[in-house]
Amino acid sequence: MTKRPLVLLDVDGVLNPARRPTMRHRRHDVTLDGRTYRVLLNARHGPKLLALAAGAEADLVWATTWEEHANAEIAPRLGLPPLPVIHVTGDLGTRTGEHFKTRHVAEYVAGRPFVWFDDSLRPPDWQYLMDHPGVGEFLLVEVDPQTGLTDGHLARAREWLTGRALGLDDAGAASPEPAP
């Protein structure tokens, strides 16, 4: 019996790039706890992420400091259903230079294969995940925060997930390489 893979999603820098609105990225003003944030979202990302998950028989999961707010403010604007949330904001320290979310991700995945889209992943994150006993196969997809998620990132994830499912020899290798 295989475990369904996970597709982990960050919001800021991935689904919400740090740039001006474009024809594809529409501006939304989101108020959380009395503070208003400008969020740029591409409505096409929702269907593309759903297609990626369906094609790979994977589960989409939020791995973002937005936590539950992602389900209330981001998911509906992208056409996504409410997703499970990895709670990442309780402990902001690092131990070996990894991103503060990495330890929470390692605990959450519980041996399930996963692809993680984030704009803050570096070699210490890859090393931490490689060394963590509860982590199996994974692919880290580094997203440029100025550009955000692209079709190239999605294609890379799809290729890895499909290769895993087909049992290809090199598909299970964890990768520290950023996506093109």
What pTM was estimated for this model as a whole?
A: 0.89
pLDDT at residue 180 is higher than 90: no
Looking at residue 2, its pLDDT comes to 56
pLDDT at residue 168 is higher than 60: no
Tell me if 75 is assigned to some domain.
yes
| Rounded average pLDDT over 121-145 | 95
| Rounded average pLDDT over 107-118 | 96
- List C-alpha distances in Å: 29 to 23, 40, 69, 93: 17, 9, 13, 30
- Counted domains in the chain: 1
Tell me if 122 is assigned to some domain.
yes
CA atoms within a 13 Å half-sphere pointing along the CA-CB vector of 92:
3
Looking at residue 64, its pLDDT comes to 97
CATH number of the domain at 63, please: 3.40.50
Tell me if 131 is assigned to some domain.
yes
Tell me if 157 is assigned to some domain.
yes
Band the pLDDT of 167: cuts 50, 70, 90.
Answer: low
Tell me if 180 is assigned to some domain.
no
Looking at residue 153, its pLDDT comes to 98
By the 8 A CB rule, do 113 and 157 touch? no
Tell me if 13 is assigned to some domain.
yes
Tell me if 73 is assigned to some domain.
yes
Q: Which domain holds residue 149?
A: 6-172
Tell me if 178 is assigned to some domain.
no
Looking at residue 94, its pLDDT comes to 67
